[in-house]
Amino acid sequence: MPKGIRDKYQEQGVEGYYLDHGAGYENPHFAQIEQLLLQNEKRIDYRKVLDLSCGSGEVSVVLQELGFSETEACDPYTQEAYQARLGKSCYSWSFEDIVKGVLGSEYSAVICSFAMHLCPEDLLFSLTYQLFQHTELLVIITPHKRPELEKLEGVTLVFEDYALTPKGKKVRLKAYQSTFTPH
């Protein structure tokens, strides 16, 4: 039986896993990501998105198909896969870099798909706080319960949606705004 990604994270650590496999990364749930982004086109401003922890550009590809060309993306381990799929580069920023203040632009939305649960729990508030200094809408796409950003002080869940995998598992889209000091 093939090993699940969770077992692999446990064996190698998240960093070790993506250092080994980042260049060939592809998400088997691309169809649900695409469905969720299409379903929510009217509610999310896609004009200048940051595709955070972009992998091989699952979110960026859909936005490109929808005609949005100003998407930026970042991931510490998958630049090669992103370049191969999108034909353009992404930044190497990690969650830790963002917490340290690396972001310099404003984004119409930040979308983090299948990745924010990888942010260490003790960095989650600082990461979210930093992201809201650069966007009004933070969107996560996740097959997990975590992270529950609505539990953070100053963060409000404004809408959510889901798509079902062929096995009937929910992939959720959750959109957040902040009541932190306006930027």
Ligand X SMILES: C[S@@+](CC[C@H](N)C(=O)[O-])C[C@H]1O[C@@H](n2cnc3c(N)ncnc32)[C@H](O)[C@@H]1O
53 near ligand X, judged by CB under 6 A? yes
14 near ligand X, judged by CB under 6 A? yes
Beta carbon nearer to ligand X, 167 or 181 = 167
Beta carbon nearer to ligand X, 110 or 115 = 115
End-to-end CA distance of the chain: 49
Within 10 angstroms of residue 118's Cβ, the number of other Cβ atoms is 16
Q: Where are the alpha helices (DSSP H) in 27-174?
A: 30-39, 58-65, 79-86, 95-99, 124-132
Task: Give the span between the Cα atoms of 144 and 42, in whole angstroms.
Answer: 25
- Across the chain, the runs of DSSP E, i.e. the strands, are 49-52, 72-74, 109-113, 138-142, 155-164, 170-178
Only one of the segments 62-70, 107-115, 130-138, 163-171 lies at the binding site for ligand X (rule: CB under 6 A); that segment is: 107-115
Count interface residues toward ligand X (CB under 6 A). 21
One residue of 35, 36, 50, 58 binding ligand X per CB under 6 A: 58
Within 10 angstroms of residue 88's Cβ, the number of other Cβ atoms is 14
* 30-60 as b/e: b if 16+ CB within 10 A: bebbbbbbeebeeebebebbbbbbbbbbbbb
Residue 174 tokens read as 């959750």
C-beta nearest to ligand X: residue: 55
Task: Give the span between the Cα atoms of 16 and 10, in whole angstroms.
Answer: 10
Only one of the segments 49-57, 64-72, 146-154, 175-183 lies at the binding site for ligand X (rule: CB under 6 A); that segment is: 49-57
Output DSSP code: residue 36.
Answer: H
95 near ligand X, judged by CB under 6 A? yes
143 near ligand X, judged by CB under 6 A? no
Here's the x/- map for ligand X, 62-81, by CB under 6 A: it reads as: -------------xxxx---
One residue of 22, 36, 60, 124 binding ligand X per CB under 6 A: 22
54 near ligand X, judged by CB under 6 A? yes
Q: 23 to 42, contacts with ligand X by CB under 6 A?
A: 25, 27, 33
Binding site for ligand X (CB under 6 A): 14, 18, 22, 25, 27, 33, 53-55, 58, 75-78, 94-96, 113-115, 118
